[in-house]
Structure 1
């Protein structure tokens, strides 16, 4: 019983006592007017004295009730709120909690869900399909991965038979690896057999029957399904074989939920690396885990061509401006950019040193183990030195594998696949630039349980780095943490651009409310803190606190 209830109870009890009818032992006094007056006067005195006594007694009881009932009601409130306090904090105001830098506490409320619906019709057979769809992907490994994933969905939209996609042999990476050298073709075909019919090649008899070579076309980026139905399907029906070139990000981010889930089945279940790549990748993971129970993987994009493309300046003086300027001439259509404006707008990748500063400011200690996945670093070891000093436990695939890496060295895509595995298995994944690998990995890590994934808020961090010499470390660290809210891989992260491969929302489901409660009830060691009678701060299990005589 709270303060207000106790107060009301004492007043009501006193008023009820005043309203009680009084008697004289033989009934009501009604014999005469005077007698009635005297009787009424004496009754009022009796009533007044007894009423006051009853009121005081009841008020005292109310005060006792106040102290005992108020404590009881408080304990009841705590029992209702603390038992599920973690759950309520997740559902309300989660953005204002202290960030756990190693893992997301909300991740257990979500799970990957890409199972096909019973309403999703079975794949059409090769004989019944509208023709054969050839796909020529573009870019590096992870850019090509987006094309492969989208190709599966496009084949479904067109009711076409998909031919195993062709990888890009002519990009900057100059890797002549084929699909079969990187991905498990048998798994790719069988895993998606209920959704799309996939073959390794167009049958010879079909090719011989064709009067002309396969029709080749390039579709606009992020095309809607209607575009494929209106522009590609008529050609496919007429020519039987169509090839789509430069196929990367050629399908809209916004599709029917069943098609989105098909994308996820293709990306996260059907595309698995071949055994030699998979085995070596997981060996490196085990070696990292042997040294530390948890590690950070950093994907550094700091190659000369990428820096030149960005148009940013990184502090290397005229030598840097001259070298990167020459490389930038490769792209004739690139506009002139202001170095300062590019940095202020967040278009400049973080330097290795800036990545290290960000991590230390977030709270990662210098004894943390890091795995660095990168290609050629502009400036080499001199560029990496400040990061090594911030995190001495610094490892790369070259340091961990030695001779085992030799068969893969001529192939950049196979090396990238090894890095992909080690980064995906890490406790924390960090990138200095939101490129293709960063997006694809972020999407898979969300799908796999929202594993901690940190992408720099480059626009705000760039301004902060330029001012870091004007503030002490504590102020800098506090501002970095503020900048990074919404960029830490939480389920409620800011979704700028809404790239499906980075934010596969259609494939991430929230657990039922009752299931969350059961999980929270399974952890019943909730603690309360208070100052005891000796002035010492104590922590107790919630059950102990409500049964303790000292409370």
Structure 2
């Protein structure tokens, strides 16, 4: 619809129409100031039409269709003086008209000047407020007095300085959450002396403590291993390899075969030549599982020279369905084993189902994972040193130390007996934000075209099958993946989650995995809001780390120890094998005292999409609700991993 005259009247008409429809009325005294008129005109205020359309109350910019351009017209004066008919009268009339015009002109000029001044003040004020919002991102609550204000300001300033340094010459990144990080900084500074939520460092103790470890018990006869030999070369990193080893133990028992100590496949991603004996105690592994299966270190001499591929004994992941049932191995693998005397599984990632599976085979999985796999002494010793420094003078070992570092847990106790300082607890955070995870997720993280090119180049080298799929199949967009909770949390999202849950600035945080995609700059938010953040590289000297350098699996073992023994453990991606194994280990041995923070990423994605408008108090409430629901104690869901959910009759026993 077209409007004549002043465009402001179009706004007023439309506002009045909406007010009429809503039944709004206002009988109060009209506001006649030029400032309120400008606000009403420019911003479409909620002032009802009965107030806005009152004639003569507010000066306007330019002509209006509700008022003439000249308040005293010639025709008005001619009508008033038509009866006089004298020259003197006409002269007096002209003089009066000139005086009136001059007087009105001055008033009109003053009104225009006033409007211009107010307009300028409004624009200046608006510009200042926008600048403060962009730089600080802090709402009006940041003006509170006292030490919390200065502390908050210093935190916000440090974040902004780091951000400007990082973003120099770059386009603004959506993933940085500048506004919300500033609000989080203010909330942390304001609440640094407040008590943390009671359930922050706790599991629901009563239902959690009713489950006790019992996978060390078994009542079956050991197999004789007479059907041949099973070789396994596991792929992936340390945690994927651990799962493959446990599954291989079960398959060897199922096929009544002898297991050769598993080997690990060299990966172009991990670039680690470590083998089983470099990470786990080989003899302990063999001896502990002797009541279950027969294990040897090498193939017999007569079988070593066989071309396993030529005779059909080489079985890859492409030959085995994902999570294949035991019946598959009995039907297709056992005949090969009986014919050739040996089968070699190459890869063997996630190639054994969790359900349906016989009770004793499921329990054997748990026995292998929670008992048979003990780290070698050099990893245990360095892991014990890591825990000692993480706890800062704690005079007793944690609940899980004995299972993780063996006899070295006693050394910690002895060294700290003379120290009586208060125990220091810490939070472990696994940031699964390495480049392989980021590239494989097909998500975007605010880096624009440069990021897309870099991740695509990485996929072409390390994930050729995924690259082919991208070219031949229409996949969901990065935005759709994020809304479905299929993207790993960024470091910025992780720190916002921790701050919203109530962890204060004094919290000691151990971050597992320091090869974050984007490098140090992606950790700015974490290090600025939580200055007591450390990694194994911070806590251990270069001399202490030197034996593990260039061995990613052995470094991962140190992260495993640091995360598993933590007072609380937070994960950012539930699909991560380390997070899965660590959380399961903490359930199995934790006695209901080792909480794991496992966010629902779909719900978090819904909350984070409102980061430009949501207030911090509402954000806290929604995050706490989303995370609290994942802390419920539950038995293992059907077909889910016993490594992650060991609360099932095959692994743990109920005491209530």
Alpha-carbon distance between aligned partners in 2 of 1:103 and 1:428, rounded to the nearest angstrom: 8
Deviations 1:37-74 (A, max 9, x none): xxxxxxxxxxxxxxxxxxxxxxxxxxxxxxxxxxxxxx
Per the TM alignment, residue 495 of structure 1 is displaced from its structure 2 partner at its CA by: 4.8
**Residue 498 (structure 1) aligns with:** 640
Instruction: Structure 1 unaligned segments of length 5 or more: list them.
Output: 1-97, 514-551
Distance 1:476 1:419, change over 3 A: same
Per the TM alignment, residue 235 of structure 1 is displaced from its structure 2 partner at its CA by: 0.9
Alpha-carbon distance between aligned partners in 2 of 1:248 and 1:431, rounded to the nearest angstrom: 22
Structure-to-structure mapping, 1:331-342, within 5 angstroms:
331=464, 332-335=467-470, 336-342=475-481
Instruction: Structure 2 unaligned segments of length 5 or more: list them.
Output: 1-196, 394-422
Structure-to-structure mapping, 1:47-126, within 5 angstroms:
100-104=199-203, 105-106=205-206, 107-118=208-219, 120-124=220-224, 126=225
Contact kept, 8 Å, 2:229 with 2:259, in 1: the verdict is: yes
**Residue 148 (structure 1) aligns with:** 245
Secondary structure at the counterpart of residue 618 of structure 2: helix
Alpha-carbon distance between aligned partners in 2 of 1:334 and 1:494, rounded to the nearest angstrom: 33
Alpha-carbon distance between aligned partners in 2 of 1:326 and 1:496, rounded to the nearest angstrom: 38
Alpha-carbon distance between aligned partners in 1 of 2:637 and 2:248, rounded to the nearest angstrom: 24
Secondary structure at the counterpart of residue 329 of structure 1: helix
Structure-to-structure mapping, 1:254-293, within 5 angstroms:
254=355, 255-290=357-392, 293=424
Instruction: Say what the alpha-carbon RMSD is for the aligned residues.
Output: 2.1
Secondary structure at the counterpart of residue 469 of structure 1: coil
Deviations 1:400-450 (A, max 9, x none): 111200111111111111111111111111121121111111221111135
Secondary structure at the counterpart of residue 570 of structure 2: strand
Instruction: Confirm whether residue 366 of structure 1 aligns to residue 463 of structure 2.
Output: no
Alpha-carbon distance between aligned partners in 2 of 1:345 and 1:428, rounded to the nearest angstrom: 27
**Residue 252 (structure 1) aligns with:** 353
Alpha-carbon distance between aligned partners in 2 of 1:507 and 1:380, rounded to the nearest angstrom: 42
The alignment's TM-score, normalised by the length of structure 1, stands at 0.71
Per the TM alignment, residue 210 of structure 1 is displaced from its structure 2 partner at its CA by: 9.2
Alpha-carbon distance between aligned partners in 2 of 1:379 and 1:117, rounded to the nearest angstrom: 48
Distance 1:266 1:508, change over 3 A: closer
Compare 441-450 and 145-154 and name the one that shifted more. 441-450
Alpha-carbon distance between aligned partners in 1 of 2:567 and 2:360, rounded to the nearest angstrom: 30
Alpha-carbon distance between aligned partners in 2 of 1:246 and 1:429, rounded to the nearest angstrom: 30
Secondary structure at the counterpart of residue 288 of structure 1: helix
**Residue 601 (structure 2) aligns with:** 458
Alpha-carbon distance between aligned partners in 2 of 1:454 and 1:122, rounded to the nearest angstrom: 39
Instruction: Confirm whether residue 447 of structure 1 aligns to residue 616 of structure 2.
Output: no
Distance 1:297 1:308, change over 3 A: same
Structure-to-structure mapping, 1:446-525, within 5 angstroms:
446-449=587-590, 450=592, 451-488=594-631, 490-492=632-634, 495=637, 498-504=640-646, 505-513=648-656
Structure-to-structure mapping, 1:20-35, within 5 angstroms:
none
Secondary structure at the counterpart of residue 470 of structure 1: coil
Alpha-carbon distance between aligned partners in 1 of 2:370 and 2:636, rounded to the nearest angstrom: 23
Deviations 1:383-415 (A, max 9, x none): 001011221101100001112001111111111
Deviations 1:104-124 (A, max 9, x none): 123322112203332x12232
Instruction: Confirm whether residue 220 of structure 1 aligns to residue 360 of structure 2.
Output: no
Distance 1:210 1:362, change over 3 A: closer
Distance 1:290 1:507, change over 3 A: farther
Contact kept, 8 Å, 1:140 with 1:171, in 2: the verdict is: no
Per the TM alignment, residue 492 of structure 1 is displaced from its structure 2 partner at its CA by: 2.2
Per the TM alignment, residue 178 of structure 1 is displaced from its structure 2 partner at its CA by: 1.0
Distance 1:316 1:207, change over 3 A: closer
Alpha-carbon distance between aligned partners in 2 of 1:328 and 1:188, rounded to the nearest angstrom: 36
**Residue 162 (structure 1) aligns with:** 259
Per the TM alignment, residue 491 of structure 1 is displaced from its structure 2 partner at its CA by: 2.1
Per the TM alignment, residue 325 of structure 1 is displaced from its structure 2 partner at its CA by: 2.9
The counterpart of 1:179, out of the listed 260, 273, 276, is: 276
Contact kept, 8 Å, 1:112 with 1:507, in 2: the verdict is: no
Alpha-carbon distance between aligned partners in 1 of 2:565 and 2:255, rounded to the nearest angstrom: 36
**Residue 311 (structure 1) aligns with:** 442
Contact kept, 8 Å, 1:214 with 1:241, in 2: the verdict is: no
Distance 1:208 1:319, change over 3 A: closer
Alpha-carbon distance between aligned partners in 2 of 1:326 and 1:171, rounded to the nearest angstrom: 15
Secondary structure at the counterpart of residue 172 of structure 1: coil
The alignment's TM-score, normalised by the length of structure 2, stands at 0.60
Distance 1:342 1:199, change over 3 A: same
Secondary structure at the counterpart of residue 242 of structure 1: strand
**Residue 568 (structure 2) aligns with:** 428
Per the TM alignment, residue 506 of structure 1 is displaced from its structure 2 partner at its CA by: 3.5
Contact kept, 8 Å, 1:138 with 1:248, in 2: the verdict is: yes
Distance 1:159 1:377, change over 3 A: same
Secondary structure at the counterpart of residue 170 of structure 1: coil
Contact kept, 8 Å, 1:224 with 1:251, in 2: the verdict is: yes
Distance 1:177 1:231, change over 3 A: same
Secondary structure at the counterpart of residue 333 of structure 1: helix
Per the TM alignment, residue 294 of structure 1 is displaced from its structure 2 partner at its CA by: 1.2
Distance 1:154 1:139, change over 3 A: same
Per the TM alignment, residue 508 of structure 1 is displaced from its structure 2 partner at its CA by: 4.6
Alpha-carbon distance between aligned partners in 2 of 1:266 and 1:304, rounded to the nearest angstrom: 31
Secondary structure at the counterpart of residue 169 of structure 1: coil
